[in-house]
Structure 1
Amino acid sequence: MTPAARLSAAIDLIDIIDAQRIPAAKALKEWGTAHRYAGSGDRAAISGLIWDVLRRQSSAAWLMEDDSARARLLGMLRLERDMDVATIAALCDGGRFAPDTLTDGERAALTSRTLDAAPAHVAGDYPEWLDPYLAKAFGDDRAAEATAMASRAPLDLRVNTLKGKREKILPRLSHLGAVETPWSPLGLRIALGADARNPGVHSEEDFIKGAIEVQDEGSQLAALFSAAKPGEQVIDLCAGAGGKTLALAAMMGGKGRLIATDHDKRQLAPIHERLSRAGVHNCEVRTPRGEADALSDIKASADLVLIDAPCTGTGTWRRNPDAKWRMRPGALEVRLKDQAEVLDRAAPLVKPGGRIAYITCSVLPDENGDQVRAFVARHPEFSVQPPEQTASVLWDKAEDFAKAALQSDEGWLMTPRRTGTDGFFVSVLRKL
């Protein structure tokens, strides 16, 4: 397919997504099945166009003064891919399989209109109902922060220190363009272009042998800030597929007791194979059975309880731009209740002097600092560990990290704009 034909296909797909109100991933899968002539490069390029339109659909429509699929795609090419009018016009030449030629109005919009007068939720490309929440988090910077959350994320990897060292593995991934991550001492980063296919990391020997895992640098830092140590008793209370469980296991060096559980046993399904591949031998996976408490035998004995809390996922919008437009206010209310419940569940598991690491992949204060303050009010035997002490695990990078991330009395907030990571909040609470 020509680049122009890919644009036409993307416009048709956006129309389908709008009309049928279906997730973009489903529409892309069905399109690929129905158009088997399209090669993998074509499918990757069209997927990239669709995701980028979703990233910038409000601002693109504002720029073009038109909310049609075509207008949003044209506006995205200008805003997200920084194409000039001549380049866009060359793609839209009205030829076979190409979009129709640009109208005078489209040329004028692409040439002269800007986002200078756009409301924050339009310039930042997020649902208007979320504006008060993001204003609470970022104030006048909310549009800039949200814009950074709209751009495509790189692919980050975490080196599993049970199987290897970063300096040894990095050269073996040079063909993928891997470089060291800015903050995490365990991270590798692969930049991805607009039309790039995800590299075949899962077929790399280091992945097959468990020496690397896919994990955003922010998630790596969140695990590091928990300061899990060899010999401790550690509970991963919302383990899910096990991303942070694996990170904790490596930090513990195979020594101590690691328990992974989750209220939804379906989420735990992949964890067993991942633990085996990573060479983890000190982790016990506890699958919930009916109404029984999987941790009923744990009474104030844990050194660390890590809570990768259920949240709205606003910090991961750059990886799943479809999610932000499908999010509804009721989802936040449900998550706030879930978070309070899991925090209260963790409290009696922690021994005196032990700690809770509370983590969300959200940038909303209601899910972050507000939850921590409410928890401490309910459980005065806990206090927040000073954030600068939490970040000290970064050693020589701690001072620079403190300048980049947002620090509050309750913890750290990382964002794509400030730290180049997904949006993550981390608070460490110590029991008296």
Structure 2
Amino acid sequence: MTPAARIAAAITVLDQILSGSPAEQALLRWSRASRFAGSGDRMALRDLVFGALRRRDSLAALGGSLTGRGLMIGHARQAELDLPAIFTGARHDPAPLTEAEAALTPPETLPDDLPDWLRPAWTAALGPQAAEVARAMTDRAPLWLRVNPARTTPDAAVAALAAEGIDTVPAPDFPQALRMTSNERALARSAAYRDGLVELQDLSPQQACALLPLAPGLRVLDYCAGGGGKALALGGRQPGMTITAHDALPDRMADLPARAERAGLRIALEARPRGPFDLVVTDVPCSGSGTWRRTPDAKWRLDAAQLDELLALQAHILDRAAPLVGPGGHLAYMTCSLLTAENEDQIRAFHARQSGFVAVMQRLWTPLQGGDGFFLALLRRD
């Protein structure tokens, strides 16, 4: 496909997303209907679509309309592409620019690419950094790897990946996290990944897991395990612990046994975990506002009613997990959100409902620190 044909395809997919279709479904639908497209075309299309969703409102202002066509005109203007050479109307190219589109004067100040209803909460949560974090959310997120200390060392992992043409850079002051700088799509077929030397995991949850208190012999529960990334990270850090994984939707853990075997770990899957545990980790469902670089359509799909439902679910999970913590044990509350309502406010409300827990620490990471937005609160049971 030519660059212009890819932009035409992006217009089609974006129109479906703007009409309510989830981004992944719209991309999959296009891929199935476009057997002629190669893997490079599909990857390029994905980059166009996700890039447009990250900058939806600002590109719409540059392109003159909140449509797939408007977003792609805005993209072309922002990237300083030759619009007449792209919008030709020939073969698979988009239709030529109208007089109004060609004559559009972009506004001096572009929107901040945040939902209007959420902006006050965003500003309240992030204060002086709010605008800078919003700008960071319009960039593509880096891909991070977690070195598995049960299998290798950071230096050896860097060398093994480099031998397969995958370049990485260790995070400053946190060398067990490697940022991929080239050949990212080769990771899944690499020996380093297949042999459990590294796992995909963002920087901030790695840093959060590194702050949790671990020791040989502890009983650890990953209460909202999903794919099991936290369980694997904790198990790799400290051998000799008993690690249990639980999820309200067990199918989410389907790949965890194979991942654990690859990592050289044993993790028990439990539908009804029974305490007491020395550490219970609750990485709860949330708005995902800290990960909107990776799932930009989620930013525009979230509404106030959905956020309220998430807040109720988070409180419910905390109340269900708390009794599983043994005396002297710890409860870790995690979200990939930047919003105070899902973070600090949840912990304040938990303390008001539950006695016997004391605050140990709280920490918020933002994309300005290299990874996704992420929140950790660590509590200890008396």
The two structures have a TM-score, normalised by structure 1, of 0.82
User: Does the 8 A contact of 2:62 with 2:73 survive in 1?
Assistant: no
Structure 1 segments, 4+ long, off by >6 Å, are none
Residue 185 of structure 1 deviates from its aligned partner by: 2.8
CA deviations on 1:137-157 (whole Å, 9 max, x unpaired) are 124643432231232112111
1:97 aligned to which of 82, 92, 96 = 92
Structure 1: 5+ residue stretches without partners: 289-293, 387-410
**3-state SS of the aligned residue for 2:185?**
coil
Q: Which residue of 2 aligns with 1:295?
A: 273
CA deviations on 1:295-340 (whole Å, 9 max, x unpaired) are 33x24xx221111112121111111111122222222122212211
Instruction: Tell me, yes or no, if structure 1 residue 284 matches structure 2 residue 234.
Output: no
User: Does the 8 A contact of 1:315 with 1:423 survive in 2?
Assistant: yes
Query: What is the alpha-carbon distance in structure 1 between the residues aligned to residue 70 and residue 184 of structure 2?
Result: 27
Matched residue pairs, number? 380
Query: What is the alpha-carbon distance in structure 2 between the residues aligned to residue 65 and residue 5 of structure 1?
Result: 21
Query: What is the alpha-carbon distance in structure 2 between the residues aligned to residue 356 and residue 267 of structure 1?
Result: 22
1:343 aligned to which of 318, 340, 344 = 318
2:118 aligned to which of 115, 118, 130 = 130
CA deviations on 1:341-389 (whole Å, 9 max, x unpaired) are 2222232222333211111011111110001111122234222214xxx
User: Does the 8 A contact of 1:53 with 1:73 survive in 2?
Assistant: yes
Query: What is the alpha-carbon distance in structure 2 between the residues aligned to residue 304 and residue 369 of structure 1?
Result: 20
Q: Which residue of 1 aligns with 2:4?
A: 4
CA deviations on 1:195-247 (whole Å, 9 max, x unpaired) are xx851311111111111111111111121121323322211111111011100
Instruction: Tell me, yes or no, if structure 1 residue 55 matches structure 2 residue 50.
Output: no
Instruction: Tell me, yes or no, if structure 1 residue 229 matches structure 2 residue 215.
Output: yes
Q: Which residue of 2 aligns with 1:402?
A: none
2:374 aligned to which of 410, 424, 432 = 424
Q: Which residue of 1 aligns with 2:144?
A: 156
User: Does the 8 A contact of 2:158 with 2:167 survive in 1?
Assistant: no
1:211 aligned to which of 197, 210, 224 = 197
User: Does the 8 A contact of 2:63 with 2:72 survive in 1?
Assistant: no
Q: What amino acid maps onto 1:18 in structure 2?
A: L
Query: What is the alpha-carbon distance in structure 2 between the residues aligned to residue 100 and residue 198 of structure 1?
Result: 34
User: Does the 8 A contact of 1:124 with 1:144 survive in 2?
Assistant: no
Q: What amino acid maps onto 2:148 in structure 1?
A: N
Q: How does 1:5-404 map to 2 (within 5 A)?
A: 5-19=5-19, 21-79=20-78, 83-84=79-80, 87-103=82-98, 105-109=100-104, 112-114=106-108, 116=109, 118=110, 123-139=111-127, 141-174=129-162, 175-191=165-181, 199-253=185-239, 255-281=240-266, 283-286=267-270, 288=271, 294-296=272-274, 298-299=275-276, 302-386=277-361
**3-state SS of the aligned residue for 1:355?**
strand
Query: What is the alpha-carbon distance in structure 2 between the residues aligned to residue 11 and residue 64 of structure 1?
Result: 12
**3-state SS of the aligned residue for 1:221?**
helix
The two structures have a TM-score, normalised by structure 2, of 0.92
Per mean C-alpha deviation after superposition, the further-off stretch among 261-270 and 367-376 is 261-270
